[in-house]
Structure 1
Amino acid sequence: MVIGNPPYIRQEEIKHLKPQLQKAFSIYKGTSDIYTYFYEQGYKILSPNGTLSFITSNKWCRAAYGEPLRKFLLENTTINTYLDLNGIKVFESATVDTSILEFYKTKANDNHTLNYANPKDYNPKDEKPLLPQYSKIPQNTLSEESFIFSDSKLAALKAKIESIGTPLKDWDINIYRGILTGYNEAFIIDSTKREEILKACKDENERARTEELIKPILRGRDIKRYSYEWAGLWIINTHNGYKDEQNNKIPPIDINEYPTLKAYFDKVANSAKQGKGKGFYDRDDKGITPYNLRNCAYLPEFAKPKIVYSEIVREPQFYLDNGEFKFGYFYAEATSFILSGNESFKSSLEYLLGLLHSKLCTFAFKEFYAGGGLGESGYRYKKAFLEKLPIPKIAKKQEKEFVELVKEIVQTKQIGGATLVAHNEQTKILESKLDSMVYKLYGLDNEEIAIIGGGAT
């Protein structure tokens, strides 16, 4: 028998070990954290039919780096128990969500069922024994793509949702991360600093050109449900060059043509405190010069209609940026993502906005695609996860009904001024109506709706 709590060391900290790990382990993946290799090593030292039981991070069940491990387990072991401790603070000194896996060193029979439990209400501080209520899950319902531990009703619901919807990766859309500036302290400024820079320009020509480079920006924390709360921040878009939508090559910004910006950057560089990282001039993640942003080939996507969303959330937070803000389209910072249509996109972003906020899609994403939770109630809209979410492609006439309702929700939230009003009675009524329409779109019955927690319609 092998029992253990393997170390949790991120893959970035074991770069020096990767050549040896690649040679030694069949489950090697360049992005795997070190604990995954202990599963294979534990298997190797077990006697036939021996038992292994590990408590580790639960990320291997759905993360891309866990695919070789999942394949290995399915092909070589009989999984006896999987105890998901997501949201339970097992270790005081660690924030990682954990799970306990127990398997036997023998290939599973086709009809084998494993024991699964997710005791969400358990609190280790109560100092009471953990007595989970286990469900039986057929091992052959797990796949190397992801381990989703669902009872028969949940599995049937997942299959139904996937039969109706089309994964977002197969839509004509692009999903991109917000801009990694390489040096936020210099490239992201507040409104006071923006005005100071513009006033220092020597003439109107320089001021106009400089103003054109400074764009309003949203961070993940600024994005709300159907809305945003702008913090008055701007990004200095001294880009590194890119190709526009017509495939024309746009040259990098030459800072010498913007003397006031250059003086600002030099002042920041000279006054910055040198910490662990490198300074403004000598940082590794700069563009062709220290004054240029690091490469971002998809810059044109920010200056067009798009959905901007927070990556790490407790509830869906998507905002449709149609360029209605007084300073034009928002750019997005690295803690947020954008979703935009490509040249073949014929659907409506409002339709996607509504579906992404719906109870059904939120439940499906968290339950089936989100790669596990974060803490007690958080989860992550990682691109690789969101692309798996099945959204139905529907006729324009039917889509129009959703678009009109979503526009009404957005307008209702705008009542009361620039700070959008959330969760008032009218928006609750409208969002409840949207949920009912989404349930019908996927053909759910009252029992399936109850699983989601939506109640009967």
Structure 2
Amino acid sequence: ENENSETLARQLGLWHERALPNLANNIKCGNSLIGPDYYENNQVSLFDEKEALRINVFDWEKEFPEIFSRSVGDPSDQRRRERPPDAVGQAKGFDAVIGNPPYVRQEMIGEFKEYFKKKYKVYHGTADLYIYFIEKGISFLRENGHFSYIVANKWMRANYGRPFRQWLKNQNIDEIIDFGDLPVFKGVTTYPCILKVIKTPLNGTLNVAQMDSLEFKDLSAYIEPLRYEVDQTKLDDSGWSLTNRNEQDLLDRLKSMGIPLGNYVDGKIYRGILTGLNEAFVISKEKRDELIAEDPKSVELIRPFLIGKEIKRYAPLKPINFIILIPKGWTNEESNFAKDTWGWMQKEYPAIASHLISYESKAEKRWDKGDYWWELRACDYYVEFEKPKLLLPDISLRGNFAFDDGNGFYCVNTAYIIPVEDSYLMGILNSKLITFIYQKSSAVFRGGYLRFIYQYLVQLPIRVIDFSDPADKARHDRMVALVETMLALHKRLPEVSTPQEKDVIQRQIAATDAQIDKLVYELYGLTKEEIEVVEGKNV
């Protein structure tokens, strides 16, 4: 600290050497992801000085010739003589690469995507910037070199992480320390992990530690009892589940016990509706009643509309909002392609037209509107909302499926529908076992919340009933009866008035729920030890 030429001269006069190595030539400034080949397809003259400074390409081999040239340096240098014999006179890299890459979303790096696509094996069109920093950092290692970054853990399961996971699976991962939702960086939610890689031949096993606290003095000592091994060769390119061997063996067996949910329902899992302008198209009950009172025909274009928090496990659905549903193509079809379509709309549905007109400017600016500003975007499955269906909010602590028996409930785009009338399936999806599988297949967010995403939902293994087997059919019928009991109990719960009555019903709900979980364990053939794994008693 505070070293200058005077103190340095005094030190060299006394000891003939520096107390610390000279770092003057080691601190460089530049765009570490973009090399001089960025200009290969561009005329350099087109880049003015200001633009060149902004891009600031960086030539690693030129800036660190002693690291990347074939002549590594003076073989007599003590530090170099301590390296393995092959470290002198060969093309090498850094002994260690450490860092905390910037957290920059893909929307901010659009101008460089074509370059990244050509230069990086991990490229994906929606990948965040840190993905490229990881590939670059690992590529700089010499043999036996060590890499360690702290980065967001989203790459483990995000769609954009697939090329990266495929590439990383072929690197010798030493350790992943996952901090989950712990606030490592105060004031921001980043879900960080520490990724460690050693440039040695792949050994097929990596160490994992799932952090449960930030209250430690020595990270290495703290994670020692938390550390477990994961078979790197079994990691799924579609998303990494860093589970211990007991859990992974159970997950593998469970997946073999059923068919993916997406196949079970013939691919019919749909997101809710995106209006692009909720203030215009989503209305309150009071506004709905007002529009219908003004013009009874308004009821033809208004549907009950659920938001995520109104969808609760087995509970009756009671939407407090409604949607004005005018799909793309509806106006032309209903008006027989009238020349003055808005005039036709005002004449046929005057109350709704009067309500919407004040939002014309905003509605017109939507990129996802229909043929006219008063229409919603195109959607191939509007009709599915009118059918009996299961519904699920996309954020929940566990499987949280409710049932609409044909009331025509629509829902917001932060929820899903599965247009089937299947009580057996509902019991499976609301069970502890399915929640366990989903937790181990996707990210867990702050507060223990799960984000239900299509790519993981479709993979949930559903045990198929063999109706030719009387015992299996009996299990199916018992599940249907239990689910119908749950629906009836949840319907009754808000209708009772005294605390004693509520307690009685809640105890019945808990008992029935436990019976469903027990039946699901039976259907999937779980042992006592495997049930303990699912319930967190034996991991």
Scaled by the length of structure 2, what TM-score is found? 0.73
User: Deviation string for 1:154-200 (max 9, x for gaps)?
Assistant: 12101210111111122224111100001100000001111221222
Corresponding position of 2:422:
349
Corresponding position of 2:250:
157
Q: Which of 398, 415, 426 is matched with 1:315 structurally? A: 398
The reply on whether 1:412 has 2:489 as its aligned counterpart is: yes
Corresponding position of 1:147:
240
The reply on whether 1:97 has 2:188 as its aligned counterpart is: no
Give unmatched runs, 5+ long, in structure 2: 1-95, 468-472
Moved over 4 A (4+): 248-255, 418-423
Aligned mates of 1:251, 1:374 — CA distance in 2: 50
How far residue 5 of structure 1 moved from its aligned partner, in angstroms, is 1.2
Q: Is the Cα–Cα contact under 8 Å of residues 177 and 337 in structure 1 kept in the other structure?
A: yes
User: Deviation string for 1:11-68 (max 9, x for gaps)?
Assistant: 2333333222212211111121221111111122222332111111111112221111
Aligned amino acid, residue 358 of structure 1: S
Q: Which of 204, 207, 210 is matched with 1:118 structurally? A: 210
How far residue 417 of structure 1 moved from its aligned partner, in angstroms, is 3.5
User: Deviation string for 1:69-110 (max 9, x for gaps)?
Assistant: 1111122x111001111121111122121111100123303x
Aligned amino acid, residue 262 of structure 2: K
Give unmatched runs, 5+ long, in structure 1: 202-206, 243-247, 271-278, 342-347
Aligned mates of 1:137, 1:198 — CA distance in 2: 61
Corresponding position of 1:400:
477
Corresponding position of 2:462:
391
CA separation of 1:184/1:262 partners in 2, compared to 1, >3 Å: closer, same or farther? same
Corresponding position of 1:177:
271
The reply on whether 1:6 has 2:101 as its aligned counterpart is: yes
What does 1:275-290 correspond to in 2, within 5 Å?
279-290=362-373
The reply on whether 1:71 has 2:166 as its aligned counterpart is: yes
Aligned mates of 2:243, 2:267 — CA distance in 1: 30
Aligned mates of 1:67, 1:417 — CA distance in 2: 46
Aligned mates of 2:507, 2:289 — CA distance in 1: 40
Aligned mates of 1:215, 1:251 — CA distance in 2: 24
How far residue 447 of structure 1 moved from its aligned partner, in angstroms, is 0.4
What does 1:4-43 correspond to in 2, within 5 Å?
4-43=99-138
Aligned mates of 1:455, 1:212 — CA distance in 2: 54
Corresponding position of 1:331:
410
Q: Is the Cα–Cα contact under 8 Å of residues 239 and 252 in structure 1 kept in the other structure?
A: no
The reply on whether 1:381 has 2:452 as its aligned counterpart is: yes
Higher fraction of helix: 2
Corresponding position of 1:265:
356
CA separation of 1:339/1:418 partners in 2, compared to 1, >3 Å: closer, same or farther? farther
Q: Which of 248, 260, 263 is matched with 1:167 structurally? A: 260
Corresponding position of 1:59:
154
User: Deviation string for 1:211-266 (max 9, x for gaps)?
Assistant: 02100011111111112553410000011138xxxxx9999996523232111111
Aligned mates of 1:331, 1:50 — CA distance in 2: 56
Aligned mates of 1:387, 1:71 — CA distance in 2: 21
Q: How many residues align?
A: 419
Aligned mates of 1:419, 1:25 — CA distance in 2: 63
CA separation of 1:455/1:5 partners in 2, compared to 1, >3 Å: closer, same or farther? closer
Q: Which of 389, 403, 427 is matched with 2:509 structurally? A: 427
What does 1:184-263 correspond to in 2, within 5 Å?
184-201=278-295, 207-208=296-297, 210-228=298-316, 230-241=318-329, 256=345, 257-263=348-354
Q: Is the Cα–Cα contact under 8 Å of residues 373 and 380 in structure 1 kept in the other structure?
A: yes
How far residue 436 of structure 1 moved from its aligned partner, in angstroms, is 0.6
Corresponding position of 1:204:
none
Identity over the aligned pairs, expressed in percent?
A: 35
Pair member with larger Rg = 2
Aligned amino acid, residue 331 of structure 1: Y
Q: Is the Cα–Cα contact under 8 Å of residues 238 and 252 in structure 1 kept in the other structure?
A: no
Corresponding position of 1:245:
none
